[in-house]
Amino acid sequence: ESFWGMFKSEMYYLQKFNTYEELEVAITEYINYYNNHRYQKRLNRMTPLEYRQYLQSPVA
């Protein structure tokens, strides 16, 4: 539910799509953004990519 609510409010309702292909590209781009580049509170305000790098870094 949370993903679909964010998806609709952040992407779908803000744009008008003239073709199915435009919609398909926009969905793919949003899912990539949501999964890899969006800052997330549960990850200490890091993106998933930043968090993975943080976990893989050696402890000082």
Q: What is the pLDDT of residue 29?
A: 93
Q: Residue 7: give the domain boundaries.
A: 2-56
Q: Does 1 have pLDDT greater than 80?
A: no
Q: What is the pLDDT of residue 19?
A: 96
Could you read off the pLDDT of 5-47 as tens digits, one per residue?
Answer: 888 888 888 899 999 999 999 999 998 988 888 888 888 899 9
Q: What is the pLDDT of residue 27?
A: 93
- Does residue 22 sit in helix, strand or coil? helix
Report yes or no: 40 and 20 within 8 Å, Cβ to Cβ: no
Radius of gyration of the chain (CA): 15
**Could you give the number of structural domains in the chain?**
1
Q: What is the pLDDT of residue 24?
A: 95
Q: Does 60 have pLDDT greater than 60?
A: no
